[in-house]
């Protein structure tokens, strides 16, 4: 089972991915987490990504794709994976298809978790207040930019998967349990 979890910042992708990886014994691949790890380790890649992330802008497709290429061939991906926060641009989606095609792997479904903008802002502000690990990009000014970037660069990706008949949208403003049930309903049709 190879999935993409799609949605704006604060939609709850990480929370839902956590539930799914346990239930289906698959791995989560979060480009955001991978980048934050590089920043923490102080690698060259991390140094290049840090200031871009802090502004809420997108790291270059080239960097992201090279990270994904290495990750996706690891043996733990054999049983399936959930992509979280990737692809975020049309180019990334096209490159992903090329990479997977060569490996004879396919994306089964793309699940969009949709949440209204005012609720996103409230959720992320709350996350910033409660979280022990503060993220530099979880403040309202940067969040606004992340939402602008999402609409401009990332929303076109939805259309791409819609045209491929792979897109399923669910209401992300319900409880965590309800959202999870809705996702699992979609997955049982696989």
Which residues contribute to the site for ligand ADP (CB under 6 A)? 9, 13, 31-32, 35, 52-53, 56-59, 64, 85-86, 88, 92, 137, 146
Which listed residue (36, 50, 109, 146) is catalytic? 146
**How far out from the chain centre does Cα 79 lie?**
19
Reduce the DSSP state of residue 169 to 3 states and report it.
Answer: strand
Q: Is 36 a catalytic residue?
A: no
Reduce the DSSP state of residue 164 to 3 states and report it.
Answer: coil
* Nearest distance from C-beta of residue 188 to ligand ADP, angstroms: 26
* Nearest distance from C-beta of residue 189 to ligand ADP, angstroms: 26
According to DSSP, the residues that pair with 112 across neighbouring strands are 6, 169
Q: Is 135 a catalytic residue?
A: yes
Give the integer Cα–Cα distance in Å for 65 and 78: 19
Q: Residue 90: which residues within 8 A CB-CB, separation 6 or more? A: 153, 156, 157, 160
Q: Is 146 a catalytic residue?
A: yes
Residue nearest to ligand ADP (CB): 32
In the complex with ligand ADP, the residue whose CB is nearer, 138 or 182, is: 138
In the complex with ligand ADP, the residue whose CB is nearer, 25 or 183, is: 183
Q: Is 181 a catalytic residue?
A: no
Closest CA to 136 of 62, 68, 41, 49: 49
Which listed residue (55, 71, 127, 166) is catalytic? 127
Q: Which residues are catalytic?
A: 13, 88, 127, 135, 146
């Amino acid at each position: 089972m190879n999935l993409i979890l799609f949605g704006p910042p604060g939609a709850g992708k990480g929370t839902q991915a956590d539930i799914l990886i346990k239930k289906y014994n698959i791995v989560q691949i979060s480009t955001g987490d991978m980048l934050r790890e590089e920043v923490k380790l102080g690698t060259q890649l991390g140094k290049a990504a840090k200031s871009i992330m802090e502004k809420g802008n997108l790291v270059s497709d080239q960097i992201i794709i090279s990270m994904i290429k290495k990750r996706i061939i690891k043996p733990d991906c054999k049983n399936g994976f959930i992509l979280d926060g990737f692809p975020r641009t049309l180019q990334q989606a096209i490159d992903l298809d090329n990479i997977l095609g060569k490996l004879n792997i396919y994306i089964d479904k793309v699940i969009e978790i949709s949440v209204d903008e005012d609720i996103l802002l409230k959720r992320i502000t709350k996350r910033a207040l409660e979280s022990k690990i503060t993220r530099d990009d979880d403040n309202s000014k940067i969040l606004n930019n992340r939402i602008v970037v999402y609409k401009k660069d990332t929303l076109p990706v939805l259309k791409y998967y819609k045209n491929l008949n792979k897109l399923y949208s669910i209401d992300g403003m319900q409880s965590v349990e309800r959202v999870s049930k809705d996702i699992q309903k979609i997955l049982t049709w696989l």
